[in-house]
Chain A
Amino acid sequence: MKKLFRPAISLFILLSAVTGIVYPMAVTGIAQVVFPENAHGSLIVKGGKPVGSSLIGQNFSDPGHFWGRPSATSPQPYNGTASGGSNLGPLNPAFTDAVKSRIAALQAADPENPRPIPVDLVTASASGLDPHISPASARYQVARVARARSLPAATVAALVEKHTEDRQWGLFGEPRVNVLELNLALDDIR
């Protein structure tokens, strides 16, 4: 047993240095050279100031912007330093109540919209930072956003179309719309 101590301790220290210092530093070094923007968070810069990340959603809730997925982070939605989902079970009354109040908010902002609401627009995402909504959810909001901005619905719809991504390589994931990028493009119109 005693003769195991020296190799155990020294191997632990040396392999720790390789896997815990050399390896992450090497990845950082390569990443800085090959993908510097990605490595620092895919930030969107406007007028010299970072306005957000194209990978992280933000909390839009006014009628003139597209709304993202509901976010269960606390204390406020889309809290970048406290990612997570609601963890509400499917039968939990608190879950059905939360969905009902989201439906009410969407309908209050757009009372004349008779269409059923796409499910992703009333259910909280896993990370609470989901940057995307479904194309159906974007289309559902076109009339409201157009009205609030006094823009022709066709203009807004065209912008949604432009920001709709297909499945990656036509194969992986789901078609989706990046809410922050879409809203920033909307703000650029006027």
Chain B
Amino acid sequence: MTTHAWLLLGLYLLVLLLAAKPLGCHIADVMEGRPSLAARLGGGVESVLYRLCGIRREEEMGWLQYALAILLFNLIGALAVYALQRTQAWLPLNPQGFANVSPDSSFNTAISFATNTNWQGYSGESTMSYLTQMLGLTVQNFFSAATAIVVVVALIRGFSRHTAKTVGNAWVDLSRITLYVLLPISLVYAVFLVGQGAIQNFDAYKDVTASATMSTQSLPMGPVASQEAIKMLGTNGGGFFNANSAHPYENPTPLSDFIQMLSIFLIPAALCLTFGRMVGDMRQGWAVLMAMTLMFVVMAIVAMVFEQQGNPLLSGLGIDQSITAFQPGGNMEGKEMRFGIADSSLFATITTLASCGAVNAMHDSFMPLGGFVTMWDMMLGEVVFGGVGSGLYGMLVFAVMAVFIAGLMIGRTPEYLGKKIEAFEMKMVSIAILVTPLLVLAGAAIAVMAADGIAGIANPGAHGFSEILYAFTSAANNNGSAFAGLSANTPFYNNLLAIAMWFGRFGVMVPVLALAGSLAAKKRIAPGAGTMPTHGPLFVVLLIGTVVLIGALNYVPALALGPVVEHLMLGPGN
């Protein structure tokens, strides 16, 4: 690793951890209805909203009603996105005159954006009207982020309340997180992005010609910055353009890139401390955040090292892959010059650990072990920071699993934050943990056995299998990045991946809410001599061990057939 890479990683961690606590406390205030600056400014809007919608804010919901409300809200969202795509040709704000999107692609995209996956089978600049982008996709960027945040807040209430029948009011929670957290940050962030060079307009595409000898170039336009801000902040990751955050109009400068990386982890990190604050013990939040941070640092270093080493197959061709003061060297295929190796590898690690899926470099062209890191990051279950909300609820599920394992080892009833962990909780935890690996492995198995599945492969050999494995890992974990060589905009992949995205999202979310309801109903027991402390280094290690072991055991055989084989084929003599 270069000094520049170390400096970048160090600065990133510093700013992230400094920003996490104030934002985490703000989110706790907002969700618990305490006065905040944002609430003072927007309180009027909130009241009007409730009156128009017939929402009584003091009326709370049990977990099942909460889950139904969330499912209904997201179902409406998916239908709206589908309808917009299918009718965009007849609607305004379509200066390029794009046709209506095909049924299977619209279905895939609707599910994709409703589930915070933002897998993109289409190419934005040649498919979507400005209206679809802002009223369909931008809106879902807000709502899917809000959805997962309120679900983790409901789970936290499960720990912080006792002998309670309810976990909150879904409508109030959704409105508050959208109005008082996501919207104000996005507004400032979007203006900053325009300041760096991101575009924000409703113009038709512009034709430019540099000189008489050059062909004309058509420059894409659109309301990009407003979508870009929430795309990163909400760990959505669906680009306005096909090249996503590699596109200079989405991510124009190294500084905008740094802020984009920061904004991916910002809310997931802050929520750990929201958790600490709401359960009344900040140390619990810091312990979870430290476990995440440690795993992140290791993965980032591995990715940076392997991408910087470059491609041995290119040595001997008269190319300079070394790092000097005048070039970044390394594996530059599929990377942008302004980002080079360090920023691209760091971004790739962050975007795959968080279920963001935005890319500033093409993961398909990473070295085998660089690509391995991106896939492995997702296979950990998107719990190391993870998606906004979903990362923390996933991690808390693993924390319950960890105390359960520890309880088995010492022969005591496991408890977490004063709540006894019993059979029902462990059933919900098991479903939440197992549903994604099942979707990934079954989906990939179906695709490699079907002619339609094989037909999508772009690269030969082990890498082709990696493309399919990556697609299902990304979809079921709601990440949305891709080994983008795979031709996935076909009815086969559009439908199969949509199924993986939907169940990968709500197949976890519903058991988590059931867990929240069951925990909230329990009495709180005072910590005794046999209680394992869950805020110290021992617990951090145990938590990391649980996440890594479960991730590893599920996916090792599949990984061995993909990136591992590919890396071995790079070795001498091949």
Residues of A within 8 A of B (CB): 1, 4-12, 14-16, 18-21, 23-24, 26-28, 30-32, 34-35, 38-43, 49-53, 55-56, 58-60, 62, 69, 76, 78-93, 95-96, 99-100, 103, 115-120, 122-137, 139, 167-169, 171-176, 180, 183-184, 187
Contact = CB atoms under 8 A, between A and B. Distances in A.
A1 B336 contact: no
The 6 nearest A-B residue pairs measured at CB: A173-B254, A126-B246, A87-B485, A174-B340, A172-B254, A83-B243
A31 B328 contact: no
Contact of B171 (A11, A86, A90, A184): A11
Contact of A19 (B4, B183, B195, B484): B183
Contact of B336 (A100, A103, A130, A187): A130
A24 B458 CA distance: 37
B208 A87 contact: no
B409 interface: no
A78 B343 contact: no
A51 B210 CA distance: 4
Interface string B229-247: 1100000000001110011
A89 B327 contact: no
Interface stretch (B131-139, B268-276, B281-289, B541-549): B131-139
Given A80-B220, A136-B327, 9 more contacts: A12-B73, A12-B143, A38-B195, A51-B208, A78-B217, A84-B123, A84-B362, A92-B463, A129-B247
A62 B210 CA distance: 13
Contacts of B175: 11, 15
B405 interface: no
A9 B53 CA distance: 8
A54 B366 CA distance: 28
Nearest to A6: B54
B492 to A, nearest CB: 19
B209 to A, nearest CB: 7
Contacts of A171: 7-8, 11
Decide if the interface of chain A is mainly helix, strand, loop or mixed.
mixed
Contacts, number: 382
A159 to B, nearest CB: 16
Contacts of A130: 248, 336-338
B200 A80 contact: no
Contact of A5 (B72, B209, B318, B334): B72
B11 to A, nearest CB: 7
Nearest to B460: A92
Given A58-B210, A81-B220, A119 B339 contact: no
B17 to A, nearest CB: 18
Nearest to A95: B333
Nearest to A51: B210
The interface centre, meaning the residue of A15, A30, A76 with most chain B CB atoms within 10 A of its CB, is: A15
A184 B317 CA distance: 32
B239 to A, nearest CB: 9
A104 B371 CA distance: 29
Contacts of A43: 206, 208, 219
Contacts of A14: 49, 52-53
B200 A99 contact: no
A8 B73 CA distance: 6
Contacts of A167: 4, 254
B366 A137 contact: no
B1 interface: no
A103 B318 contact: yes
B217 A35 contact: no
Given A11-B174, A28-B201, A53-B219, A35 B317 contact: no
A90 B186 contact: no
14 contacts: A20-B135, A20-B136, A43-B219, A58-B217, A78-B217, A82-B123, A83-B247, A89-B365, A90-B313, A90-B367, A96-B314, A123-B334, A124-B334, A183-B210
The interface centre, meaning the residue of B314, B320, B339, B460 with most chain A CB atoms within 10 A of its CB, is: B320
A39 B195 CA distance: 8
Contacts of A23: 138, 183, 186-187, 226
B304 to A, nearest CB: 14
A172 B554 CA distance: 38
B68 to A, nearest CB: 6
Nearest to A21: B135
A83 B217 contact: no
Contacts of B174: 11, 15
Contacts of B217: 52, 56, 58, 78-80
A39 B178 CA distance: 25
A179 B130 CA distance: 30
Given A31-B191, A80-B218, A18 B334 contact: no
